[in-house]
């Protein structure tokens, strides 16, 4: 009976790792980091810079902040968590899954209105145009950028008018894909997703007065408390090299500088 239970535990671990897209072959010189979907491209850049500087490897897994939080609380094998908000990072610690005192703001998000059509001049009025049929947003229950998008509609007095036109992506990456593929006319997404010159289309940076600040916090998880690459990566996020890369990607940083 004990042997059967051990085999079941091993199979469950392998299945969880497979679902998370993380290989079980991660070595002792690597760390597993859960990253909010909006930060995916920037994380890839930072991972490359980090490896060049330290030799350590980082295995990233991406998803909405709410999804990643749920995975962490169900035993997902992550060493660190880069959330898209402060609340879930703090909750990880208060729930006993994170290291007390390890939380810090690594980036300040900016929201953007995006269309795949080039040459458009977008503004707050664009979402009210009669020709707009669908506006994509991330799930506001699990994705901070989705919650911020709904705040924008509320502060513009357009919630009731636009509610029938909203389509929700699981996370901000899927919301972007809806607009990028033409399944939505517009999308409210992270600015970092749309300022890359290889991304076709037009965007408008939403004024920060239209939504609450999107402070994105990182936290060391208990599983990674003794993981040297995880500890080094979180230190790296605070260094000038990493902070400059984060600003170039379209984010603000804790020092008050913006990605504009």
- Residue 12 located in a structural domain: yes
Average confidence (pLDDT) over 7-12: 44
State how many domains the chain has: 2
> In terms of domains, do 98 and 138 share one?
no
Q: Read off the CATH number of the domain in which 170 is found.
A: 3.40.190.10
- Residue 192 located in a structural domain: yes
Predicted local distance difference test score (pLDDT) of residue 29: 83
Predicted local distance difference test score (pLDDT) of residue 25: 38
- Residue 184 located in a structural domain: yes
In the sheet that 214-220 helps form, which strands lie side by side, from edge to edge?
A: 57-63, 30-36, 80-82, 214-220, 104-109
Predicted local distance difference test score (pLDDT) of residue 201: 95
pLDDT higher than threshold 50 for residue 158 = yes
pLDDT higher than threshold 90 for residue 17 = no
Q: Mean pLDDT lowest for which of 54-58, 141-145, 155-159, 194-198?
A: 194-198
Average confidence (pLDDT) over 114-121: 94
pLDDT higher than threshold 50 for residue 187 = yes
> In terms of domains, do 77 and 130 share one?
no
> In terms of domains, do 9 and 96 share one?
yes
pLDDT higher than threshold 70 for residue 256 = no
Return the bridge partners of 215, or none: 108
- Residue 29 located in a structural domain: yes
pLDDT tens digit sequence for 61-102: 999 999 999 999 999 999 999 999 999 999 999 999 999 999
> In terms of domains, do 63 and 77 share one?
yes
**Average of per-residue pLDDT values in the chain:** 89
The residues, any chain, with a CB within 8 Å of residue 86's CB and separated by 6 or more, are 103, 105, 215, 216, 217
Q: 99-105 long-range contacts, Cβ below 8 Å, gap at least 24?
A: 99/219, 99/220, 99/221, 99/222, 99/225, 102/218, 102/219, 102/220, 102/234, 103/217, 103/218, 103/219, 104/217, 104/218, 104/234, 104/237, 104/238, 104/254, 105/215, 105/216, 105/217, 105/218, 105/254
Torsion sign over Cα 60, 61, 64, 70: negative
- Residue 260 located in a structural domain: no
> In terms of domains, do 20 and 85 share one?
yes
pLDDT higher than threshold 80 for residue 153 = yes
Predicted local distance difference test score (pLDDT) of residue 255: 58
Average confidence (pLDDT) over 168-186: 96
Q: Which residue has the tokens 């703090």?
A: 90
The boundaries of the domain holding residue 41 are 2-108+214-248
> In terms of domains, do 80 and 145 share one?
no
Predicted local distance difference test score (pLDDT) of residue 121: 96
pLDDT band at 116 (very low <50, low <70, confident <90, very high): very high
> In terms of domains, do 58 and 104 share one?
yes
- Residue 27 located in a structural domain: yes
């Amino acid at each position: 009976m004990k042997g059967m239970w051990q085999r079941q535990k091993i199979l469950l671990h392998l299945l969880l790792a497979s679902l998370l897209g993380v290989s079980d072959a991660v070595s002792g010189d690597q760390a597993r980091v859960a990253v909010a979907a909006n930060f995916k491209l920037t994380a890839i850049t930072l991972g490359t810079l980090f490896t060049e500087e330290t030799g350590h490897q980082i295995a990233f897994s991406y998803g909405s902040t709410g999804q990643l939080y749920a995975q962490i609380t169900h035993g997902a094998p992550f060493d660190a968590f880069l959330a898209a908000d402060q609340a879930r990072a703090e909750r990880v610690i208060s729930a006993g899954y994170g290291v007390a005192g390890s939380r810090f703001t690594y980036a300040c998000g900016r929201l953007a209105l995006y269309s795949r059509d080039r040459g458009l001049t977008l503004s707050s009025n664009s979402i009210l145009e009669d020709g707009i049929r669908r506006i994509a947003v991330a799930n506001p229950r699990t994705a901070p950028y989705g919650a911020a998008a709904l705040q924008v509609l509320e502060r513009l007095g357009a919630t009731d008018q636009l509610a029938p036109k909203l389509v929700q992506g699981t996370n901000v990456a899927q919301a972007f894909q809806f607009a990028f593929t033409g399944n939505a006319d517009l999308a409210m997404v992270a600015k970092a997703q749309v300022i890359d010159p290889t991304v076709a289309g037009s965007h408008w940076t939403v004024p920060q007065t239209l939504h609450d600040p999107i402070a994105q916090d990182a936290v060391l998880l208990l599983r990674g408390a003794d993981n040297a690459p995880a500890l080094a990566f979180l230190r790296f996020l605070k260094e000038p090299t990493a902070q400059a890369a984060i600003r170039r990607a379209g984010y603000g940083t804790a020092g008050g500088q913006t990605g504009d």
